[in-house]
Structure 1
Amino acid sequence: MGKELTVREAGERRVVAEITGMMAAPSMLVDGLGHDAAFVDLGRGDDELLVLNTDRSGLNAAYGLGLAGPECVGDFGVSHAVSDIVVAGGIPRAVTVALLLPVESTLGFVRGVMQGAADAARRYGAEIVAGDTKQNPKFALIATALGTVSREKRIRRSGARPGDALVVTGFLGSMLLGLIACKRALPLGDRAQRIVKRAIIEQRPPFTLGRAIAEAGIPHAGTDISDGLPGAIHAICDASDCGAVVDERRIPLHPELDELILASGLSSLQLGTAGGDWQFLYAVPPEHLSLLQQLAASQDARITIIGSITEDRQIAIRHLDGAWHRLERIEHDSFADDGNGIGHFSRVETSSSLRGAALERRHFEALWNRIF
């Protein structure tokens, strides 16, 4: 018998596949495993489903850089867990928090973390209802978010259909740009400084817009972009048994950060791959795009069509130079990187290219022109 792979050697997707492959989905689990959150039918005979998600987080970048106190650690941990509830169409109701604490942690630090967690939960319309504390060599916060969703308005990763537009909320790359500006001590104007500082400190999902999108029943599928745009696109396409075409020029970067983007030397795809901005990706049928744009405008929110779902299983991206390549599934892997994504950010920043195999330009140009 050969030596078994370690989880670092296998990678996070393989670990998850091993776990889910040995589990039989219970009858109460609607749509099975593999979505941003679990949909559970409690058998009460009504249309409402329970929606659940558990996430682990650590000391985030804002705290490590001294940009905010321990409150931001608790805020991030709860926001991380709630993000998956919201993109799944759910209404957050309750949160549990478990703290894994080194023995040298101060009571002031613990109070700050929990204050941030409680404030975040209330911001999303929920309350912290239970938790646990345990000693651990390294700090971690494990949050479980519970919500409700009507059966017909739940949003899964599966369900995308050929012809659906791929739509991104907000801007991508701002958090990584902020880390680069801090690390390299790059000079920033007041406006750019405020934008990147907020992106580092307030790693929160587009809660109000996400709830409005779900309530209007707009998307066929959705997922958050916490681990990077390529991973999110692959997650929807894999679950929906379809492909996609994407234009790198359409990846939404903040227009006030143009000088910082130029100074970083990073491409739009690199910045979109970083993750950390906690936006959402939706597959939206063309007939719902007008309503989506109206909802976003009413909230002064940004949405961007970056591509389309295709019947062909290939996932292709047109780069800034017009060349078409396969979009590789590059994403944060908690076993390959450190637990908080810093290793992933560094790898994205130092990668000279994220291009996959070259694809036949004429075919995908024709396909793109037919769609758009």
Structure 2
Amino acid sequence: MLPLGKIRGEVLNKIILRNIDIEDPKVVIGPREGFDAAVIEYDGENYLIVATDPVLGVPEEHFGFFTYHFAASDVAVFGAKPRWLVVDLLLPLGFTEEKLAGIMKELNEECRRYQTAVIGGHTGVYTTIKDITATTTAFGLVKKKELRLPLAKPGDDIIITKGVGIEFAVGVSYFRKDELKGLLTPAEIAKLRGMYKLETVVPDALTVRKLARGMHDATEGGLTALHEIADNSDVGFRVYYDKIYTPPLVKKVLEAFDVNPLTVSSTGTLIIISPRGNSRRIIEELSKNGIKAFIIGEFT
């Protein structure tokens, strides 16, 4: 039986990739462990970056936000500005026009923010759908010389943005709010709920894409993504535990629920592979945009 969550690398290689055997000369990077987007030849100067992501198990009142940012983040970490979206919305029986309008308005706000066009999709109500679910495919263009891959060289710094564990803590504040009574004040819970806006790496990646060697988000296993980067790069890495930042409210929740900050899914945390000479400037540029960043280790 397959475990919950994103399938492991060995299953990807043994079953998924083994049963995909049509090759196309325009595909530069196809399905591959550690790479969350495809890279396709577009023209003489640009690559087309394509990524797809499911949206489920997120706060319904902010479903439009996540419908944009999950897939858009995977495009942005390759150095591309998200330009087009295709959105598939599957709705349960009883879903109202008012709720659908709320989702679309929020999705459109994010599209306006980043000048991304929704170019197609599908929306329907189905008896087999118990909770609203979406799948978004995002597309972006990047100049060939500005493509960023999640690959490192010895001596590169490891930088993370925002801190770890935000996704888990925010989820608790929406879906297990009663369990936070006595741990956080009502004002703190409200503040934590507002941190859903941090669950994206689009602004982070677009800010530093010309300075970073590569980037990867910390979704599905948190900082364990470093193992994928190291394996694909044939390097090692060293992380200093005391350098790993966790926002104070998030830290309270992680400790109360006995959750390991190194392995918990941390959507919104960007892992930046930085040539050592660029690290200071990367942190400064992120700070100018209101994004905290921290050097937590290096590749060896």
Q: TM-score range by the shorter chain?
A: 0.7 to 0.9
1:59 Cα offset (Å)? 4.2
**Aligned twin of 2:295:** 305
Letter in 2 for 1:74: G
Counterpart contact for 2:166–2:268, Cα < 8 Å: no
1:140 to 117, 120, 133: 133
**Aligned twin of 1:165:** 157
1:213 aligns with 2:205: no
Give the structure with the higher percent strand.
2
Instruction: Give the total of aligned pairs.
Output: 288
1:17-57 deviations in Å (ceiling 9; x for gaps):
22223335422122343222111112x32x11111111111
**Aligned twin of 1:41:** 41
SS at match of 1:274: coil
**Aligned twin of 2:89:** 99
**Aligned twin of 2:27:** 29
Counterpart contact for 2:85–2:116, Cα < 8 Å: yes
Change (3 A) 1:176 1:113: same
SS at match of 1:115: helix
1:202 to 193, 197, 200: 197
Counterpart contact for 1:93–1:125, Cα < 8 Å: yes
Provide the rounded CA distance (Å) in 2 between the counterparts of 1:273 and 1:290: 27
Provide the rounded CA distance (Å) in 1 between the counterparts of 2:222 and 2:250: 19
1:241 to 234, 242, 247: 234
Counterpart contact for 1:209–1:295, Cα < 8 Å: no
Change (3 A) 1:297 1:203: closer
1:124 Cα offset (Å)? 2.3
Counterpart contact for 1:25–1:33, Cα < 8 Å: no
Counterpart contact for 1:79–1:203, Cα < 8 Å: no
SS at match of 2:206: helix
- TM score, norm. by length of structure 1: 0.70
1:87 Cα offset (Å)? 1.2
Matches within 5 A, 1:258-277: 260=252, 264=256, 266=258, 270-277=260-267
1:164 Cα offset (Å)? 0.9
1:276-300 deviations in Å (ceiling 9; x for gaps):
4422102111111122122123223
Uncovered stretches (5+) of structure 1, i.e. residues with no partner? 1-5, 64-68, 311-372
Matches within 5 A, 1:12-91: 12-13=7-8, 14-17=10-13, 18-21=15-18, 22-34=20-32, 35-42=35-42, 44-45=43-44, 47-60=45-58, 62-63=59-60, 69=61, 72-91=62-81
2:222 to 196, 218, 229: 229
1:41-83 deviations in Å (ceiling 9; x for gaps):
12x32x11111111111241x33xxxxx2xx112112111111
Q: Which one has a bigger Cα radius of gyration? A: 1
Provide the rounded CA distance (Å) in 2 between the counterparts of 1:292 and 1:132: 39
Change (3 A) 1:90 1:161: same
**Aligned twin of 2:182:** 186
Counterpart contact for 2:204–2:270, Cα < 8 Å: no
Provide the rounded CA distance (Å) in 2 between the counterparts of 1:39 and 1:103: 38
Counterpart contact for 1:160–1:236, Cα < 8 Å: yes
- Percent of aligned pairs with the same residue? 22
**Aligned twin of 1:280:** 270
Counterpart contact for 1:51–1:149, Cα < 8 Å: yes
SS at match of 1:232: helix
**Aligned twin of 1:3:** none
Counterpart contact for 2:53–2:71, Cα < 8 Å: yes
Name the Cα RMSD after superposition: 2.5
Provide the rounded CA distance (Å) in 1 between the counterparts of 2:254 and 2:270: 25
Counterpart contact for 2:53–2:135, Cα < 8 Å: yes
Provide the rounded CA distance (Å) in 2 between the counterparts of 1:238 and 1:224: 16
Letter in 1 for 2:149: R
Provide the rounded CA distance (Å) in 2 between the counterparts of 1:81 and 1:302: 22
Relative contact order, CA 8 A, sep 6+: which one is greater? 2
1:152 to 129, 145, 158: 145
SS at match of 1:50: strand
1:250 to 243, 248, 251: 243
Letter in 1 for 2:182: L
